[in-house]
Amino acid sequence: MQGAGHRVAITGYGVVAPCGIGKQNFWKGLLGPGTTGSVTVEVSEWDPAPYFDGPKEVRRADRCEQYALAAAKEAIEQSGSLPYDLTRIGTIFGTGIGGLRTLEEQVVVRVEKGERRVSPFLVPMMMSNASGAAISMRYGFQGPAETICTACAAATHALGYAARLIAWGRCDAVVSGGAESAATVTAVAGFANMTALSTTKVSKPFDATRDGFVFGEGSAVFVLERLDLAVARGAKIYGEILGAGSNADAHHITAPSPGGVGAIACMKLALDDAGLTPDQIKQVNAHGTSTPLNDSAEAQAVANVFGASKPPMTSIKGVTGHPLGAAGALEAAAVLLSFEHKLIPPTANTTVVDPEMKDVDIVIGSARPWEPGPTISNNFGFGGHNGSIILAPYKN
């Protein structure tokens, strides 16, 4: 974030995903087979008990919040105690919807059993800001506690804003990320009737036969710190956030702007913010939802911005499905793991890249060895929201 004042380090991160709970299990899942056979990919055999003080607390937290607290626990344990004034530790979180499971369950309760049986905890469980608020309250963080709700771009926007609070000197540390658990019967029906879901029940981003997305869920949470302060306290640094971009298509509620015009502008904003040229980007972690319009527009945008340098591009949604507002957080975690393991995970289920995408280099088949370098991660949401963030390995 050129000229902003402070470099931004990542000193801890945690993951809850359908392919693995905990960041290393998540990584193993990303290298495994893609998801097939269902329009939803959920965290199986989820047990929230280890993350709460008793069953009463569990019952008062929607699944979305449960995932957020579990991922935050891993992230904060990795970062270690943050030796800063609590008023200078923020919580900036992203979600697309929030506690939809609770809302749908309680609507059914009202219809079947009457108004007096509706839970008094309905509102605090369903509200979109519940996850970020829960993290703030559990750890006593008294800095800015805000929730960004920009559909599938939410977590990327949250990370970008959190990084700026540190770069600008407003906060010494910010816990940020995203969570989502919204694959309810009604939500799935709505997306299916929109013809957004895969009829073949396979997420295969950028494939010639892609036909829609598979619904995912999960959470990833990051501890961001002022780099100089993190170094001074001896923290392990997993990477840096160099820059971020955010803009709007102003085109259509669900469809991307033709040719990826908005995405092009957003990636250029992130590059400018990071002070990088396109040829310095060494990987693109794509939004890559497996929907025909999104993948086509994103591929055109990447080809336009990066041209002949053709950095390798991957999408993890063949494994994770599309976790809506949590997508950018899970993808940022995948980028950090690709730094650690010096591998770019393949785009699962994709076997024949759409011929229209000949100008981008999609990683398919198996993980690709690489020398880690600056990586741009994209997310584009309904409403025309675009978000790009640039992460890089830490260098002195």
In the chain, the number of structural domains is 1
Residue 247 lies in a domain: yes
Q: Percent of the chain having pLDDT more than 90?
A: 97
pLDDT in tens, 330-371: 999 999 999 999 999 999 999 999 999 999 999 999 999 999
Return the DSSP state at 265: H
Q: Give the end-to-end CA distance of the chain in Å, rounded to a whole number.
A: 16
Return the CATH number at 309.
Answer: 3.40.47.10
**pLDDT category of residue 2 using cuts at 50, 70 and 90:** low
222 Cβ neighbours under 8 A, 6+ residues apart: 10, 12, 13, 75, 159, 162, 175, 176, 177, 329, 332, 333
Q: Does 153 map to a domain?
A: yes
Q: What is the mean pLDDT of the chain?
A: 97
pTM for this prediction = 0.97
| Geometric angle at alpha carbon 150, from 149 and 155, rounded to 5° | 75
pLDDT in tens, 112-150: 999 999 999 999 999 999 999 999 999 999 999 999 999
Find the mean pLDDT for residues 62-73. Answer: 98
Mean pLDDT, range 228-240, rounded to an integer: 98
385 in active site: no
Rg over CA atoms, the chain: 20
- Over 70: is that where the pLDDT of 250 sits? yes
Residue 3 has pLDDT above 90, yes or no: no
Does residue 280 sit in helix, strand or coil? Answer: helix
pLDDT at site 396:
82
- Give the pLDDT of residue 35: 87
For residue range 157-193, list pLDDT tens digits in order: 999 999 999 999 999 999 999 999 999 999 999 999 9
pLDDT > 70 fraction of the chain, expressed in percent and rounded: 99
Of 19, 64, 149, 152, the catalytic one is 152
- For residue range 5-31, what is the model confidence (pLDDT) as tens digits? 899 999 999 999 999 999 999 999 999
Residue 276 to residue 242: CA distance in whole angstroms: 9
Spatial distance between the Cα atoms of 317 and 313, rounded to a whole number of angstroms: 13
Query: Does the residue 172 lie in any domain?
Result: yes
Q: How confident is the model at residue 1 (pLDDT cuts 50, 70, 90)?
A: confident
With respect to residue 1, please indicate whether it lies within any of the assigned structural domains.
Answer: no
Residue 381 lies in a domain: yes
| 1: nearest Cα among 244, 222, 228 | 244
pLDDT in tens, 277-289: 999 999 999 999 9
Q: Alpha carbon of 36 to those of 144, 225, 292: distances in Å? A: 40, 39, 18
Which listed residue (64, 149, 266, 322) is catalytic?
322
- Stretch (H or E) spanning 305: helix 292-306
Q: Does residue 192 belong to any structural domain of this protein?
A: yes
Q: Which of 46, 36, 86, 97 is nearest to 69 (CA)?
A: 46
Classify residue 2: in a domain, yes or no: no
More confident residue, 340 or 37: 340
Is the confidence at residue 51, as pLDDT, over 80?
yes
Look up 6 and say whether it is catalytic: no
Within a domain: 93: yes
Q: For residues 60 and 396, which has the higher predicted lDDT (pLDDT)?
A: 60
**322 an active-site residue?**
yes
DSSP result, 131-174: HHHHHHHHHT--S-EEEE--GGGHHHHHHHHHHHHHHTTS-SEE
Q: Which of 62, 179, 69 is nearest to 122 (CA)?
A: 62
Which H or E element spans position 29?
Answer: helix 23-30
State which residues form the domain around 166.
8-392
